[in-house]
C-alpha cells in the first residue's frame, strides 16, 4: 500500500504516473471533489423548495439546469469514479499482481473524466439526467445540451476502458496460485460490474450519437416530426441504465464485504453465496429495464414481463443482506466508523429495496412514478447504500493511503448526522410522492402537506450538509496532521486474517 | 454451499421468492382489472403542450386548463401531445399516462362524487413544467 502523504512527492509525479495506486489516488481526489460540487447543488435545490414561490434561485431554467447537473455529477463523476478509485487500489493487490493489466489504458481512462466533467459543468444542460427526446432534440437549449452529450460519450468510453482493464486484471493477471474461487468478494464485485458495463454501455453510446444527429437535424430517430419514436430512446436508455444501477451498487456491496467480516471479527458467512448473488444480479439486471416505462403506454403483457423481470432480481439482493446479517451474528463487532457506515448502509439498502418492490408492482407504480417517491427510492440507493458503503470504505482505507488515522469522534458524528439526515430527506420524499408532488418542479402550489414534507426534507439535507463539512475538515486535517496509524492493525481489531494485503508498494 | 450448513439461507430465500410471487400475482390481477375500459365510457381527447392541457369532449365542447365531468360516469381519455413528452395526471384518481407526440395513449376513470381535483404534468417538459397544472371539476349527475 502506498503511504502517499508520508513520503511527499511532487504532484506531477502522481499525475503522470500510471501506477495503479497513483491512478487510484487521482480517482479518489477527483471523485470527492465532485461529491462536494454536486452536493452543493443539492443543498441549493432543497433550499429553493423549502417554501412555495421563488426563493433565491431566480428562474425555473436555472433550477432545471441545477438538478440535471446534480444528478449527472453524482452518478458519473462521484459514484463511478469513487468505485474505480477503490478498484484501482485494491483489485491488483487482491489478485496479487503488480499493477492493473494495462496501466497506460488505466491512466487514459482516468484522464478522460476531467474533460467530460468540464463539458457537463460548463454547459449546464437542463434536460434531466435522461435527456428525453423529443424535448432534448427540439427544445433543450444548446450548446449546453450538446456539451452534455459529448461529456457522457467520453464518460461511457472511459467506463468501457476501465471495465476491460478490471476484467483482464482479475481473470488473466491473478496470481497463478490463486483460483478464481479464492478471489476476494470485493474483486468479484468489480468483475461482475465490469461485465455489466461491457454489455450495457454500448447501447446508450449508440443512443447518444443518434440523439446528437437528431439535434443536428440530419436524422430523426427519436423525433416524431421526422417519423421517429421517442419511446425507442427510452428503451435504449433504460436498457443501459437499469443495469448501470447495479454497476453502482455492486462495488459498494463489495466494499461492505470487506468491512463487515473484519469488524465482526468473523469470516464471511458464505463466500459462495456472495459470488453467486453478484453473478446472478449481473444477469437479471438485464431483465427489468422497462419498469421505468409503465406509463408510456406499454401493453399489459409488456408491463407484466418487465414486472416479473424486476421482481426476479430481488432474491439476489436479499441474499447479500442475509449474508451480512449472518456474518455479524455472534461476531465480536467493533463499531468503528467504517462499520457504522456499512451497517447503516445495509439498513437503508433494505428500505430502498422495499420501496423498489412497490414501484415494480404495476398498479402501484401509477401512484409513485415521476413523483418524489421515486426520488426518495433511488436516493436511498445512491446515497443511503452506495455513498454510505463508499464513505465507510474511504474511512477504512484512509490509514493505508495516508499512513495516518482520521479523527474517530468526528467520523462517528459524520455518520450519525448523515444517517439522520438521509432518513429525514428520503423517507419524507417517499411520503411527499404519495401526496402527489411531481419531481423536477421548481415551484409548487401551497398545499399544506407538501410544504411540511418539503421543509422536513430541506432540514434533513442541511444536516447532511453539515456532516459533510465535518467530513471534509476531518480528512483534510487528518491526512496531514492525524495520528500516525499502526498500519498492521489500524483499527485495533487483532487477529491475523484481517489485513491480508501487502503493505509495501513495489513501485516506490 | 460452502462447507457448512446453509439451511437458514435457503429458508430465507424461499420466503423472499414467495413474497415476490405474491406481489407479482396480486399486481397482475389488479392491473388486469383496472385496465378493462367499460364499453360505455365517454371519450375525452386530452392534449398536452408546453405548458397547458386542453380537452375536447365527445360532443365537441373544448376546454383549456379545466375539465368538467359528471360523477357516476366512466370516461376514457385519449392522450395526445403537440410537442414534447408530458404526463397527464389526476393524482386523486390515480390517473397517470404519458402524452407522447406521435402516439395516442389511453386511460380511463370513473369519478364517484362531485368535487374538485388537481390536474398536473408529471413528466419533465421544460421551463414551465412546474406550473403545467389544471383543475378537474366533477359535477353532480345531470339526470
Ligand atoms: C440496486 C440499486 C438500485 C438503484 C441504484 C436504483 C436506482 C433507481 C433509479 C435511479 C431510479 C429512477 C430513475 C429515474 O426515473 O430517474 C429507479 C427507479 C425504479 N426502481 Fe430502482 N434502483 C435500485 C434497485 C431497485 C430494486 C431492487 C427495485 C425493485 C425491486 C427497483 C425498482 C425500481 C422501479 C420499478 C423504478 C421505476 C419507478 C418509476 O419511475 O416509477 N429498483 N431506481
Ligand atoms: Cu430500474
Ligand atoms: Cu411537464
Shared domain for B29 and B46, answered yes or no, is: no
**Which SS3 state, helix, strand or coil, does residue A110 take?**
helix
Q: Which residue shows C-alpha cell 500516525?
A: A484
Measured CA to CA, the distance from residue A236 to residue B6 in angstroms comes to: 40
**Which SS3 state, helix, strand or coil, does residue A320 take?**
helix
Nearest Cα to Cα of residue A476 among A390, A398, A368, A383: A398
Alpha carbon distances (Å) from B102 to A192, A209, A269, B82: 39, 22, 54, 8
Indicate yes or no: CB of A326 within 8 angstroms of CB of B50: no
Alpha carbon distances (Å) from A489 to A155, A330, A397, A501: 37, 22, 12, 12
Question: Residue A58 has what pLDDT?
Answer: 81
| Residue range(s) defining the domain that contains residue B58 | 42-139
From the CB of A245, is ligand 1 less than 6 Å away? yes
Shared domain for B7 and B75, answered yes or no, is: no
Q: How far is the CA of A84 from the centre of ligand 2 (A)?
A: 22
Q: Report the percent of chain A where pLDDT is more than 90.
A: 85
> In angstroms, what separates the C-alpha of A117 from chain B's closest C-alpha?
23
pLDDT for A3 beyond 60? no
Nearest CA to ligand 1 atom 5: A245
Shared domain for B120 and B86, answered yes or no, is: yes
Residue A94 cell numbers, joined: 487482491
Question: Residue A196 has what pLDDT?
Answer: 97
Q: Please write the tens of the pLDDT for every residue from B62-85.
A: 999 999 999 999 999 999 999 999
Alpha carbon distances (Å) from A108 to A115, A155, A450: 12, 12, 47
Q: Contact, A109 vs A162, CB < 8 A?
A: yes
pLDDT, averaged across chain A: 93
Burial class (CB in 10 A: 0-12, 13-18, 19+), B48: buried
Measured CA to CA, the distance from residue A142 to residue A10 in angstroms comes to: 40
Shared domain for B7 and B55, answered yes or no, is: no
Residue B4's region, left for phi above 0, alpha for psi from -120 to 50, else beta, is beta
- Of residues A276, A303, A436, nearest to B91 (C-beta): A436
Q: What's the whole-model pTM score?
A: 0.94
Total domains in chain B come to: 2
Mean pLDDT of A456-462: 97
> In angstroms, what separates the C-alpha of B48 from chain A's closest C-alpha?
13
pLDDT for A312 beyond 50? yes
- Give the model's confidence band at A206: pLDDT under 50 very low, under 70 low, under 90 confident, else very high: very high
- In order, the DSSP letters of A139-199 are ISPTTHHHHHHHHHHHHHHHHHHHHHHHHHHHHHSS-TT--GGGS-HHHHHHHHHHHHHHH
The Cβ of residue A11 has, within 10 Å, a number of other Cβ atoms equal to 8
Shared domain for B14 and B50, answered yes or no, is: no
Question: Residue A11 has what pLDDT?
Answer: 83
- Bridge partners (DSSP) of residue B86 are B99
Mean pLDDT of A107-117: 97
- Give the model's confidence band at B6: pLDDT under 50 very low, under 70 low, under 90 confident, else very high: confident
* Helix runs in A175-299, H state only: 185-216, 230-264, 271-284
Question: Residue A402 has what pLDDT?
Answer: 86
The Cβ of residue A445 has, within 10 Å, a number of other Cβ atoms equal to 13
∠ CA(A413), CA(A381), CA(A248), 5° rounding? 110
The domain that contains B105 carries what CATH number?
Answer: 2.60.40.420
A contact test, residue of B104, B122, B128 with most A CBs within 10 A: B122
Pocket probe mutation, ligand 1, options A292, A320, A345, A372, max atoms within 8 Å of Cβ: A292
Task: Indicate which atom in ligand 1 lies nearest the CA of residue A360.
Answer: 35
Pairing, β B133-139 against β B115-121? antiparallel
Alpha carbon distances (Å) from B116 to A202, A444, B62, B65: 48, 18, 19, 13
Mean pLDDT of A185-205: 96
Measured CA to CA, the distance from residue A184 to residue A246 in angstroms comes to: 19
- Give the model's confidence band at B4: pLDDT under 50 very low, under 70 low, under 90 confident, else very high: low
pLDDT for A503 beyond 80? no
- Give the model's confidence band at B57: pLDDT under 50 very low, under 70 low, under 90 confident, else very high: very high
Indicate yes or no: CB of A296 within 8 angstroms of CB of B30: no
Q: Which helix (H) or strand (E) holds B70?
A: strand B66-70
Query: What backbone phi and psi angles, to 5 degrees, belong to A183?
Result: -65, 130
Question: Residue A7 has what pLDDT?
Answer: 66
Q: Contact, A264 vs A314, CB < 8 A?
A: no
Shared domain for B134 and B66, answered yes or no, is: yes
- Give the model's confidence band at A2: pLDDT under 50 very low, under 70 low, under 90 confident, else very high: very low
Pairing, β B115-121 against β B95-99? unpaired
Q: Which residue shows C-alpha cell 459533510?
A: A468
Domains and CATH numbers, chain A: 11-481 (1.20.210.10)
Asked whether the bond before B51 is cis by omega within 30 degrees of 0, the reply is yes
Shared domain for B63 and B124, answered yes or no, is: yes
> What's the first-to-final CA gap in chain B, in angstroms?
70
Question: Residue B93 has what pLDDT?
Answer: 95
Shared domain for B61 and B99, answered yes or no, is: yes
Q: Which helix (H) or strand (E) holds B77?
A: strand B75-81
pLDDT for A321 beyond 90? yes
Question: Residue A57 has what pLDDT?
Answer: 87
Shared domain for B63 and B20, answered yes or no, is: no
Measured CA to CA, the distance from residue A202 to residue A186 in angstroms comes to: 25
- Stretch among A28-42, A237-251, A341-355, A396-410 having the lowest mean pLDDT: A396-410
Indicate yes or no: CB of B98 within 8 angstroms of CB of A296: yes
Question: Residue A403 has what pLDDT?
Answer: 85
Q: Please write the tens of the pLDDT for every residue from A115-148.
A: 999 999 999 999 999 999 999 999 999 899 999 9
Question: How many residues are given for chain B?
Answer: 143
Q: Tell me B141's DSSP state.
A: P
Amino acid at each position: 500500500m502506498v503511504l502517499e502523504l508520508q513520503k511527499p512527492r511532487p504532484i506531477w509525479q502522481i499525475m503522470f504516473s500510471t501506477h495503479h495506486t497513483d491512478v487510484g489516488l487521482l480517482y479518489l481526489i477527483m471523485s470527492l471533489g465532485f461529491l462536494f460540487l454536486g452536493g452543493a447543488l443539492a443543498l441549493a435545490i432543497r433550499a429553493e423548495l423549502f417554501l412555495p414561490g421563488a426563493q433565491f434561485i431566480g428562474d425555473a431554467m436555472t433550477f432545471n439546469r441545477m438538478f440535471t447537473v446534480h444528478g449527472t455529477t453524482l452518478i458519473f463523476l462521484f459514484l463511478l469514479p469513487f468505485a474505480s478509485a477503490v478498484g484501482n487500489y485494491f483489485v491488483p493487490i487482491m489478485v496479487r499482481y503488480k499493477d492493473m493489466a494495462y496501466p497506460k489504458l488505466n491512466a487514459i481512462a482516468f484522464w478522460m473524466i476531467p474533460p467530460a466533467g468540464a463539458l457537463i459543468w460548463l454547459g449546464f444542460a437542463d434536460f434531466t439526467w435522461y435527456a428525453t427526446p423529443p424535448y432534448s432534440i427540439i427544445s433543450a437549449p444548446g450548446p449546453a445540451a450538446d456539451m452534455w452529450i459529448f461529456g457522457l460519450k467520453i464518460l461511457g468510453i472511459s467506463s468501457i476502458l476501465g471495465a476491460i482493464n478490471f476484467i483482464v486484471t482479475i481473470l488473466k493477471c491473478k496470481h497463478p496460485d490463486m483460483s478464481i474461487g479464492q478471489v476476494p468478494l470485493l474483486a468479484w464485485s468489480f468483475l461482475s460490474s465490469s461485465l455489466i458495463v461491457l454489455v450495457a454501455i454500448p447501447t446508450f453510446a449508440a443512443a447518444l450519437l443518434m440523439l446528437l444527429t437528431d439535434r443536428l437535424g440530419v436524422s430523426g430517430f427519436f423525433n416524431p416530426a421526422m417519423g421517429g419514436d421517442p419511446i425507442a430512446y427510452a428503451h435504449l436508455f433504460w436498457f443501459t441504465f437499469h443495469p448501470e444501477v447495479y454497476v453502482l451498487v455492486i462495488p459498494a456491496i463489495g466494499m461492505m464485504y470487506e468491512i463487515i467480516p473484519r469488524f465482526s471479527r468473523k469470516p464471511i458467512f458464505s463466500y459462495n453465496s456472495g459470488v453467486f448473488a453478484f453473478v446472478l444480479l449481473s444477469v437479471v439486471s438485464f431483465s427489468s429495464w422497462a419498469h421505468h416505462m409503465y406509463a408510456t403506454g406499454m401493453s399489459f403483457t409488456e408491463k407484466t414481463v418487465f414486472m416479473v423481470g424486476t421482481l426476479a432480481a430481488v432474491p439476489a439482493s436479499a441474499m447479500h443482506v442475509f449474508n451480512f446479517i449472518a456474518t455479524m451474528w455472534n461476531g465480536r463487532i467493533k463499531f468503528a466508523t467504517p462499520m457504522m457506515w456499512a451497517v447503516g448502509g445495509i439498513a437503508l439498502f433494505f428500505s430502498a429495496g422495499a420501496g423498489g418492490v412497490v414501484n415494480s408492482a404495476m398498479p402501484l407504480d401509477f401512484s409513485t412514478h415521476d413523483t418524489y417517491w421515486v426520488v426518495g427510492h433511488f436516493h436511498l440507493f445512491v446515497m443511503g447504500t452506495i455513498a454510505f458503503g463508499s464513505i465507510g470504505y474511504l474511512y477504512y482505507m484512509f490509514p493505508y493511503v495516508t499512513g495516518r488515522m482520521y479523527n474517530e469522534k468526528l467520523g462517528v458524528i459524520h455518520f450519525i448526522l448523515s444517517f439522520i439526515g438521509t432518513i429525514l430527506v428520503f423517507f419524507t420524499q417517499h411520503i411527499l410522492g404519495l401526496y402527489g408532488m411531481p419531481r423536477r418542479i421548481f415551484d409548487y402550489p401551497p398545499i399544506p402537506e407538501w410544504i411540511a414534507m418539503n421543509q422536513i426534507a430541506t432540514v434533513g439535507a442541511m444536516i447532511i450538509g453539515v456532516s459533510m463539512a465535518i467530513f471534509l475538515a476531518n480528512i483534510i486535517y487528518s491526512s496531514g496532521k492525524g495520528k500516525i496509524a499502526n498500519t498492521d492493525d489500524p483499527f485495533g481489531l487483532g487477529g491475523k486474517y484481517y489485513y491480508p494485503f501487502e503493505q509495501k508498494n513495489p513501485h516506490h | 454451499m460452502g462447507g457448512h450448513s446453509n439451511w437458514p439461507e435457503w429458508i430465507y430465500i424461499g420466503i423472499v421468492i414467495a413474497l415476490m410471487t405474491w406481489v407479482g400475482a396480486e399486481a397482475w390481477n389488479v392491473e388486469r382489472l383496472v385496465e378493462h375500459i367499460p364499453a360505455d365510457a365517454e371519450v375525452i381527447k386530452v392534449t398536452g403542450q408546453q405548458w397547458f392541457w386542453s380537452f375536447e369532449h365527445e360532443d365537441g365542447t373544448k376546454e383549456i386548463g379545466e375539465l368538467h365531468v359528471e360523477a357516476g360516469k366512466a370516461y376514457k381519455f385519449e392522450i395526445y401531445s403537440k410537442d414534447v413528452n408530458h404526463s397527464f395526471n389526476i393524482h386523486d384518481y390515480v390517473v397517470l399516462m404519458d402524452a407522447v407526440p406521435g402516439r395516442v395513449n389511453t386511460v380511463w376513470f370513473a369519478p364517484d362524487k362531485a368535487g374538485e381535483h388537481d390536474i398536473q404534468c408529471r413528466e419533465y417538459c421544460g421551463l414551465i413544467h412546474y406550473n403545467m397544472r389544471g383543475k378537474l371539476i366533477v359535477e353532480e349527475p345531470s339526470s
